[in-house]
Every structure is written in C-alpha cells, then in structure tokens.
C-alpha cells in the first residue's frame, strides 16, 4: 500500500496499464511532456515515449474521432478531454460514432477498447465552464459505459477496469478531489467491477445515494443525521451506465426511503432515472417520496457556487424531511 | 527541451500587408483525354491488361448495380439507394492502387471500391434488404455497407466523422509496424465539417499514413461547390495543413490510379498523410430521394456525359487491343442476370430474429437490455400480427 491522492492514483493506474499492455496509448491536450494540466499523465511520455503518450492539437472532436478509429484498429486508447465542460465538440463522435460502432456493424468492428478520461464537477471556483457534471447526457446513450470514482482507491481500480473493459467507457474524475482526497492505494495491479455500486456505510432508516465527489457530502450528512438518531445507508453508485439497480433496490427495500444527490442540475439529471426505476421496483416498500438533492437548474454559477451546490446541509435537511414525511 | 522560435522563418514587411489572393496554381493530373486517347505528354502508369480489365469490369458492374437498384427503389422493393454514376473511376481506380491489407473508410458513394475488393452481388443485396444474412445484421439503411474480411469499415450516415477516425486507424497501423495505410473517402461538401479539419490536422501533426480522398463532384445534394467554399477546392486546404496534396482528374482511371499509387508510396515511405482531390461530377441524383432537375440543367449534365469515365477508359482499353467486345458483352449480360437473381433471393430472406435487437450494444447485454427484450417478446407474443417480421420465430 502507498498513500496517494486521486491524481497519483490515476497516474499510477495509467502506468500500470501501459506496462501491462503495449497497445495502451494516452493522449489529449497537454498530456505529453507537460503531463496534463492537472498532472494526471506526469512522466508517461518520458517513460513510454512519444509514440504512446502524446499531445494532440486542440480539437475535442478530433481527439475522440482519432481515438475511436485507433481503438477500432486494435489499439487501447485512453483519451483525455481536459475538462468535461469541453466534451461537447466531441458529442457527435461519442454519441453517433463511438457508442454505435459495434451495433451498426453487427459486431464486425468495435471501438470497445476506448476509454475517455475527463475531469468534471464543481467546487474549485471554476464557474460555468470548469464545473459541469454532464454524466446524464451520456447515460442516455446506449453503447457507452459511464464510471465515476469517489477516492484514490476506487479511481485506480475502476480506471484499470475501464481501460480493459471491451466497451467504450467515459471515466469522469471529480477534480475537486484530485488533491483533496488521499488514501491508501495498492501499488500492484487490481480492478474493481464496473456496473456495481459500493455500500459505503450500512444503515436502516434511509438510503443515501451519490457518486464521485458527492459521496463524501452524503457521508457528512449521514454523520449529522446519526447524531439525531437517524441511521443512513450510504451507497456510492460508481457506475452510472449500466447502473446497479439490484444493490440500490435491496437497500431501499430495507430502509423504505431513498435520497439521491448529484451536482448536475435537477431536471432530467440521472437521479430522475433512478427515482423512476426504484419507484417501479420498490413501490410497496416506500415510506416516503424519493427525494432528489441536486444542483439548481441554472448554469453553474461562480459567485454563488456555495449556494448552488447540493451540500451536506441541504442533504441533512432533506433527510429529516424524508424520514418525517 | 530545445528552445523554439516560431518566428524564425518569417520574413518582415514594414507596411500593412494584406494577402488578397493567396491561391497558388494547383494543376490537375490528366493522363487520358476525355475522348479516351492518351495525353501526348502524359506519363502512363504501369498497368497490366488484367488489372485494366478488372477495373473496367468493376466500373461496369457498379453501373449495372446502380441502374438495377434505383429501379428496385422506384418499384418499392428497397427504401433508399444512392448511385455513383459518373464517379466510378475515382473509387474503382483508387481502390485498385491499394493493397488488400489497407483499410477503406468511406462516405457512402464508394460502392466501386467495395466491389473492387470483391464484395459479391449477394452481399450487396443482403445489405440492401437488411436481411439476416447481412454482415451488419440489417441494422442500417441501404448502402451502409461494411465488411471486416475486406477491410472495408462499416459506413455511418453522419458526414465527415470517418475523417479523424481514419487518422487514428492509420496511427494504429503505424504503431503496429504494419505495411498498410488507410484510405478515407469523402465529398467536397463533407469537407466543410469540423471533423475534416480536425482529421487532416491531426494526421499531419501525428504523422499518420492515411490517404484522404476527396471526390469533388460539384454538389452536396443541391448545393453547388461555389456555395460550399470560396477557396480553390479542397486541395488548397491540404497545403494549409502541411499535407502533401495531389489534384487529379477523377474521371480518368489512369490518372486516379497513378495519383493513388504515388500517395500510397509517400504515405508509407514518410509515414504521412496525403490528400487527393479528384475532380469529378455526380451524373446521378444525390439519392433516390433527390431530383436534380430543380438545381441543374440538362445541358450541364450533357457536357459531363461526354467525360464519362467508363466510356473514356473503355476506349483506351480498346485502343490497346485489350478488350474482347464479345467477351465484354457476355460479362455485362451475365452480371445483369446475377444481380437480378441475387436481388430476388435476398428479398425473400427474413430479418434477424428479435433476440438480436439487444446484441452488440455492449460486448454482452447488461441487465436492463435483457429485461427490455423479455418485456418486448411477451408483447410480440400478445400481438403477433402487428409484428410479422419477428413473431413466432423463437
């Protein structure tokens, strides 16, 4: 075990993958010699050469188009989009090309080896264009997997699993935790399963569900609720698509209540999909309406960032409302 | 790290200098004149009688296929078709200059390249009738071919998306140490898409052995090229991106063959992209959903009929004494019969069973797709008459 922050864990996962398979190639804007604007790709070019870790021109649609073609050739690309806010020029490539590559060719061709890494989320004074959480857009696209880690241990294990998974994976990294989240990470190779949620803390009165940086927010709210005698079960969804309905529904059947927290705006966020599915499966177990604590339906504001965020206090109040419904 | 100075090679001026005409003369390679005679100064590429016959027969084949399938669409037997009439030389002769291991990433009017690779009438028909024999499992509209064994990437409808993908594919070929290139076909209209610029720039910067083959056929559906771009065609853009560029008469088999052969040699020798702009004309409608009489004149079409690439090359083959007329007529008759026979067979073949609707979304179907399929099958069983293609089959 070694103590790492999330960036070091991502970097360590990339080194592990590149050592393990010479077909793994890492590229994007500034990821080469510089090592990426957050330093997630530090020393990769120096270690593995310019052929396997390189800068690309500043073109997100080009990066994903290139990566999709490269994957279909048999390489294992790990493409970086510098900020999730800038992924939209590549939306057509991801939605119409990457995600449909296997289906449209009847399985003859595939770009399943592709992994797209991108930092997402707020809390860093990034304003409108360095703070967004666009996971719901991609959760609407058959053929993609969407994965989000909450800490360094999950980041390494889930990233290695994403790189080796034979489906295109959008791996979204909570940049607020890049340096803030520190933990023990095995130095050896390991993977965590995709499509599986993780029960972070067991409880009996209400299920709290989040992913990425919001997991620590609901944990904090759960600790506050505990002091008031409310026992919360805390679940990290980890995979947004496909998502682990079984773990979530088992928990809700036990607690009878569900609160979902995400940073992205409320309307048509992924919490809506979860709420719809859970009420269908667990209708007779529910003691109260499923509750969503999310970002506002505004662009991500700079000056009002703190007010915008679905923080532990908003979550704590929502827990009390739901339990006392 | 070495110090860099990006001004090092720039000269100075001391008055405001506006470049009003930055165009340079980009000539067009022509070997055969429109009448099919060899241009007096032209350098003839190395071509055997056997290769010449294969190219001619493939061009004749796709013309027959196009005629038959446009008619089949008019009869309501298939929903859609897209002919390549007038552009056969561009796609067939370029494919002839490649090796089988080279990947072809096409737009949608390159059936000539696919036929040259050996795609059969049966395979064409299975695709157009989206039946269960189709290599892509009948998931896309007619003409969206794809064949892994023939290294012909499955076509997608969005325009230009294959251009950066071709750069990436070629980069992978280079990194794997393969003696292979990727050819990427597209039209002059698609070259307005952002993906064109992204793809060419990335290929140049990252040294990808890819041939970008633009069919400049004068129209993007109804939009003429003068409403598509202001510069000198597509070739001038290659120069802007630092890409080796060739402009060629796209209706001249020998010129297209020579240009593509050179492009392939350059791409492999220098591990670099090459752009070919083939000047041609879409004698056909854009698709069976299009009516060109509303945007161009019969006289204009007539002037291009005189430059017909099939006639031009056939005349040259005859002048060489390489074409047996009787044999060729028999080939045409036989081909016509084969196409019709395969059409009739393919339209009788059922579509894939319903279970395949969830296959290939992922490597294995996840829980939610399995649940949705189970629900769908129960529903189909309740209303079998409403779903005649799939009910009662599993």
CATH number at residue A299: 3.40.50.920
Q: Is the pLDDT of residue A264 over 80?
A: yes
Window 274-333 of B, Cβ < 8 Å to A? none
Q: pLDDT for A275-293, tens place per residue?
A: 999 999 999 999 999 999 9
Q: What are φ and ψ of residue B347, in 5° steps?
A: -75, -10
* Nearest beta carbon to residue A62 from set B134, B164, B363: B164
Q: Is residue A214 in some structural domain?
A: yes
Q: Are residues A253 and A169 in the same domain?
A: no
A150 and A296 part of one domain: no
B147/A65 Cβ within 8 A:
no
Of the partner residues A57, A66, A106, the one whose CB lies closest to the CB of residue B360: A106
Distance of CA B288 to CAs A88, A259, B122, Å?
33, 53, 21
A70 at B interface, C-beta within 8 A: yes
> Total structural domains in chain A?
2
Distance CA B63, CA B251 (A): 14
Residues A35 and A171 in one domain: yes
Closest CB to A62: pick one of B138, B147, B198: B198
Does some domain include residue B290? yes
Q: CB within 8 A of A210, min separation 6: which ones? A: A217, A218, A235, A236, A237, A260, A261, A262
Q: What is the pLDDT of residue A232?
A: 98
Residue B77 covered by a domain: yes
Of A271, A319, A312, residue with least CA distance to A123: A312
Q: Which of A122, A153, A185 is the last residue of a domain?
A: A185
Are residues A16 and A133 located together in one domain of the fold? yes
**Is B164 close to A69, i.e. CB distance below 8 A?**
yes
Contacts of A140 (CB under 8 A, 6+ apart): none
Please list every residue in chain A whose beta carbon sits closer than 8 Å to the beta carbon of residue B190.
none
Q: What is the pLDDT of residue B394?
A: 59
Task: Collect all residues of chain B within an 8 Å Cβ-Cβ radius of residue A245.
Answer: 367-368
Tell me which of A21, A22, A60, A62 to substitute to probe the interface with B (most B C-beta atoms closer than 10 Å).
A62
Residue A93 in contact with partner chain B when CB distance is under 8 A: yes
Q: Are A31 and A4 in contact (CB under 8 A)?
A: no
pLDDT at B8: 86
Give the total number of structural domains in chain B: 2
Asked whether residue A222 falls in the same domain as residue A150, the answer is no
Say yes or no: A44 and A19 in one domain.
yes
Q: Could you tell me if residue B283 is inside a domain? A: yes
Q: Does A59 contact B161 at a Cβ distance shorter than 8 Å? A: no
> A120 and A220: one domain?
no
- Mean pLDDT for chain B? 96
Give the whole-angstrom CA distance, residue B205 versus residue A27: 13
Whether B169 and A93 lie within 8 Å, measured CB to CB = no
DSSP string, B252-283: -HHHHHHHHHHHHHHHHHHT--EEEEEE----
A54 touches chain B (CB under 8 A): yes
Cβ of residue B11 closer than 8 Å to a chain A Cβ: no
Residue B198 domain-assigned?
yes
Residue A190 lies in a domain: no
The distance between the two most distant Cα atoms of chain A, rounded to a whole number of Å, is: 60
User: What tens digit of pLDDT does each residue of A3-25 get?
Assistant: 999 999 999 999 999 999 999 99
Mutate which: A32, A56, A73, vs B, most B CBs within 10 A: A73
Mutation choice for A interface testing from B172, B184, B194, B370 by most A CBs within 10 A = B172
- What are the backbone angles phi and psi of residue B210, rounded to the nearest 5°? -130, 140
Distance to chain B for A61, nearest Cα, Å:
7
Same domain for A298 and A216: yes
* Closest in B146, B198, B362 to A105, CB measured: B146
**Confidence (pLDDT) at A258:** 98
Tell me if A193 is assigned to some domain: no
Segment holding B220, helix H or strand E? strand B219-220
Is B147 in the A-facing interface, judged by CB distances under 8 Å? yes
Instruction: List, in order, residues 6 or more apart from B149 with CB less than 8 Å away.
Output: none
Strands (E), chain A: 2-5, 24-28, 53-55, 76-80, 115-120, 145-147, 169-174, 182-185, 198-201, 206-210, 232-236, 239-241, 258-265, 291-295
CA dist A44 and B302 (Å) reads: 60
> Of all residues in chain B, what percent carry a pLDDT higher than 90?
95
B132 touches A at CB < 8 Å: no
CA-nearest residue to A194 within chain B is B366
A109–chain B nearest CA distance, Å:
7
Residues of B in contact with A51 (CB under 8 A): 175
A70 assigned to some structural domain: yes
The Cα of A63 is separated from the nearest Cα of chain B by a number of Å equal to 8
Helix axes A60-73, B162-175, angle to 10 degrees: 50
Regarding whether A219 and A174 lie in a shared domain, the answer is no
Let me know if residue B13 belongs to a domain: no
Angle among Cα A209, A210, A216 to the nearest 5 degrees reads 110
Out of A56, A74, A103, closest to residue B361 by CB: A103
CA angle in degrees (0–180, nearest 5) for A274-A275-A276: 90
My answer on whether A174 and A205 are in the same domain is no
CA B285, CA B109: separation in Å to the nearest integer? 12
- Do the domain assignments include residue B258? yes
CA-wise closest residue to B192 among B167, B223, B169:
B223
Same domain? B265 vs B382:
no
> Which residues span the domain enclosing A94?
2-185
Residues in B 154-183 with any Cβ partner in A closer than 8 A: 154, 156, 158, 161-173, 175-176, 182
A107 and B CB contact within 8 Å: yes
Q: Order the strands of the A198-201 sheet from edge to edge.
A: A198-201, A232-236, A206-210, A258-265, A291-295
- Residues B375 and B270 reside in one and the same domain: no
My answer on whether B274 and B377 are in the same domain is no
- Residue B207, classified by CB atoms within 10 Å of its CB into exposed (0-12), middle (13-18) or buried (19+), is middle
User: What is this model's ipTM?
Assistant: 0.97
List Cβ neighbours of A161 (8 Å cut-off, separation of 6 or more).
A147, A191, A192, A193, A194
Chain B contact for A34 (CB, 8 A cutoff): no
The answer to whether A147 and A172 are in contact (CB under 8 A) is yes
Last residue of one domain, picked from the residues A155, A185, A215: A185
Q: What contacts A227, CB < 8 A, 6 or more positions away?
A: none
Distance to chain A for B200, nearest Cα, Å: 9
Pairing of strands B223-224, A291-295: unpaired
Q: Is residue A191 part of a domain?
A: no
Q: Is residue A49 part of a domain?
A: yes
B136: nearest CB among A72, A105, A166:
A105
Residue pair B106/B162 in contact by the 8 Å Cβ criterion: yes
| Domain shared by B341 and B193, yes or no | yes
pLDDT at B9: 87
**Chain A, window 238-277: residues with a beta carbon less than 8 angstroms from a chain B beta carbon:** 242, 245-246
B326 and B358 in a common domain:
no
Residue showing tokens 């940086």: A213
Q: Are residues A30 and A62 in the same domain?
A: yes
pLDDT at A312 (0 to 100)? 98
Q: Which residues 160-179 of A are in CB contact (within 8 Å) with B?
A: 166-167
Contact B198 A59 (CB under 8 A): yes
Across the interface, whether the CB atoms of A65 and B205 are under 8 A apart is answered no
Which residues of chain B, if any, have pLDDT below 50? none
* Chain A nearest CA to B208, separation (Å): 11
Residue A43: other Cβ atoms inside 10 A? 14
Please name the residues in contact with B157: beta carbons below 8 A apart, sequence gap of 6 or more. B108, B140, B141, B144
**Which helix (H) or strand (E) is A6 found in, with range?**
helix A6-20
Question: Do residues B216 and B277 share a domain?
Answer: yes
Give yes or no for a contact between A231 and A204, defined as CB atoms under 8 angstroms apart: yes
* Residue B271's CATH number: 3.40.50.970
- Could you tell me the pLDDT band of residue A171, with boundaries at 50, 70 and 90? very high
Asked if B114 reaches chain A (Cβ–Cβ under 8 Å), the answer is no
**What is the C-alpha separation between B131 and B182, in angstroms, rounded?**
29
Quickly tell me which residue has 């799939």 as its tokens. B390
Return the pLDDT at A79: 98
Cβ contact A51–B198 (<8 Å): no
CB within 8 Å: B166 and A69: yes
CB contact under 8 Å between A66 and B199, yes or no, is yes
Interstrand relation of B274-279 and B210-216 (parallel, antiparallel or unpaired): parallel
For residue A4, list its beta bridge partners: A183
Q: Is B61 inside any structural domain?
A: yes
Question: Residue B338: which domain range?
Answer: 49-346
Residues of A in contact with B177 (CB under 8 A): none
d(CA B275, CA B253): 18
Q: What is the dihedral of CA B228, B230, B236, B238, to 10 degrees?
A: -40
Q: Do A97 and B165 touch (CB under 8 A)?
A: yes
Closest residue in chain B to residue A55, using alpha carbons only:
B206
B185 pairs with which residues across the strands?
B213
B212 and B86 in a common domain: yes
Among the partner residues A25, A97, A102, nearest to B360 by beta-carbon distance: A102
User: How does the average pLDDT of chain A come out, rounded?
Assistant: 98
The answer to whether residue A192 is domain-embedded is: no
Supply the residues of A annotated as catalytic.
60, 130
Partner-chain residue, chosen from B148, B202, B361, that has the shortest CB–CB distance to A108: B148
What's the rounded Cα separation, in Å, for the pair A166 and B361? 11
B105 vs A contacts (CB less than 8 Å): 69
The verdict on A203 and A167 lying in the same domain is: no
B23 occurs within a structural domain? no
Domain end call among A161, A185, A209 = A185
């Amino acid at each position: 075990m070694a103590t790492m922050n999330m960036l070091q864990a991502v970097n360590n996962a990339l080194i592990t993958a590149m050592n393990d398979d010479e077909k793994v190639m890492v590229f994007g804007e500034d990821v080469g010699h510089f090592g990426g604007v957050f330093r997630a790709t530090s020393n990769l070019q120096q270690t593995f050469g310019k052929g396997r870790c390189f800068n690309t021109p500043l073109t997100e649609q080009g990066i994903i188009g290139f990566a999709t073609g490269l994957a279909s050739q048999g390489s294992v690309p790990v493409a970086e989009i510098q900020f999730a806010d800038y992924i939209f020029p590549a939306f057509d490539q991801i939605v119409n090309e990457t995600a449909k590559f296997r289906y449209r060719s009847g399985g003859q061709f595939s770009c399943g080896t592709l992994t797209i890494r991108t930092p997402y989320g707020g809390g860093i004074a990034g304003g409108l264009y360095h703070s967004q959480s666009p996971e719901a857009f991609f959760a609407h696209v058959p053929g993609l997997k969407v994965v989000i880690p909450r800490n360094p241990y999950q980041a390494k294990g889930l990233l290695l699993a994403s790189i080796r998974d034979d489906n295109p994976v959008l791996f979204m990294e909570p940049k607020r935790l890049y340096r803030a989240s520190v933990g023990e990470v095995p130095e050896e190779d390991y993977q965590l399963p995709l499509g599986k949620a993780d029960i972070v803390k067991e409880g009996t009165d209400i299920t709290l569900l989040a992913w990425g940086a919001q997991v620590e927010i609901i944990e904090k709210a759960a600790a506050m609720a505990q002091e008031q005698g409310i026992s919360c079960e805390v679940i990290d969804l980890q995979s947004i698509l496909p998502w682990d309905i079984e773990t979530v529904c088992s928990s809700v059947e036990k607690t009878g209540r569900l609160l979902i927290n995400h940073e992205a705006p409320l309307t048509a966020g992924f919490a809506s999909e979860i709420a719809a599915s859970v009420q269908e499966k667990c209708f007779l177990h529910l003691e109260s309406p499923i509750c969503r604590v999310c970002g506002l339906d505004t662009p991500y504001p700079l000056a009002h960032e703190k007010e915008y965020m679905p923080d532990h206090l908003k979550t704590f109040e929502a827990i009390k409302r739901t339990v006392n419904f | 790290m070495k110090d860099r100075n990006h001004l090092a090679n720039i000269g100075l001026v001391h008055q405001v200098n506006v470049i009003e005409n930055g165009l340079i003369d980009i000539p067009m390679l022509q070997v055969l004149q429109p009448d099919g005679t060899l241009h007096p100064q032209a350098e003839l590429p190395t071509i055997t009688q056997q290769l010449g016959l294969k190219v001619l027969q493939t061009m004749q084949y796709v013309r027959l296929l196009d005629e038959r399938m446009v008619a089949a669409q008019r009869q309501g037997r298939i929903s859609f078709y897209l002919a390549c009439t007038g552009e056969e030389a561009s796609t067939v002769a370029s494919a002839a200059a490649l090796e089988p291991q080279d990947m072809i990433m096409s737009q949608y009017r390159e059936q000539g390249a696919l036929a040259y690779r050996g795609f059969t009438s049966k395979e064409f028909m299975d695709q157009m009738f989206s039946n269960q024999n189709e290599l892509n499992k009948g998931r896309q509209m007619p003409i969206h071919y794809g064949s892994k064994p023939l290294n012909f990437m499955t076509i997608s409808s969005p325009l230009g998306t294959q251009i950066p993908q071709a750069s990436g594919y070629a980069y992978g070929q280079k990194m794997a140490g393969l003696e292979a290139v990727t050819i990427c076909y597209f039209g002059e209209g698609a070259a307005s898409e952002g993906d064109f610029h992204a793809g060419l720039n990335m290929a140049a910067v990252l040294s990808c052995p890819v041939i970008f083959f633009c069919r400049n056929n004068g129209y993007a559906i109804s939009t003429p090229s003068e409403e598509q771009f202001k510069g000198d065609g597509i070739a001038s853009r290659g120069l802007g991106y630092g890409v080796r560029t060739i402009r060629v008469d796209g209706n001249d088999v020998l010129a297209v063959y020579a240009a593509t052969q050179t492009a392939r040699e350059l791409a492999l020798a220098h591990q670099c992209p090459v752009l070919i702009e083939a000047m041609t004309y879409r004698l056909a409608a854009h698709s069976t959903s299009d009516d060109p009489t509303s945007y161009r004149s019969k006289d204009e079409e007539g002037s291009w009929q005189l430059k017909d690439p099939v006639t031009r090359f056939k005349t040259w083959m005859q002048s060489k004494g390489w074409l047996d007329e009787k044999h060729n007529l028999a080939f045409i008759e036989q081909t016509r019969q084969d196409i019709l026979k395969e059409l009739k067979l393919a339209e009788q073949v059922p579509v894939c069973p319903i279970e395949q609707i969830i296959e290939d979304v992922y490597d294995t179907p996840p829980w939610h797709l399995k649940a949705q399929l189970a629900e769908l099958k129960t529903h189909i069983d309740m209303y079998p008459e409403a779903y005649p293609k799939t009910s009662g089959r599993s």
